[in-house]
Amino acid sequence: MEARKLLDGASSDLETRKIMRQAFDEAWVVITLQAGDKPLPEDCRVSLAHAVIAHARDKDVNELRAAALAAILPTLR
């Protein structure tokens, strides 16, 4: 739940928070599918939340998801 708190506290703009949550959720699905049986680091969700927040200027959910994934996937390999 720490990741959700980070996302919700990052912007007072309701639309931006909605886009960030959607991008986070979609990126998390990609990460878990790519991880398969490999255990993910404990702080992976928090790291993803930080990546989403860092790229939140991208108001398009697809661009935001892609930017967050590009930032975090290399750290998981």
What are the distances in angstroms from CA 47 to CA 33, 55?
17, 13
Residue 61 has pLDDT above 90, yes or no: yes
Domain count, the chain: 1
Q: Which domain holds residue 39?
A: 2-76
The Cα 20–Cα 23 span in angstroms is 5
pLDDT tens digits, one per residue of 65-77: 999 999 999 988 7
> pTM (2 decimals)?
0.90
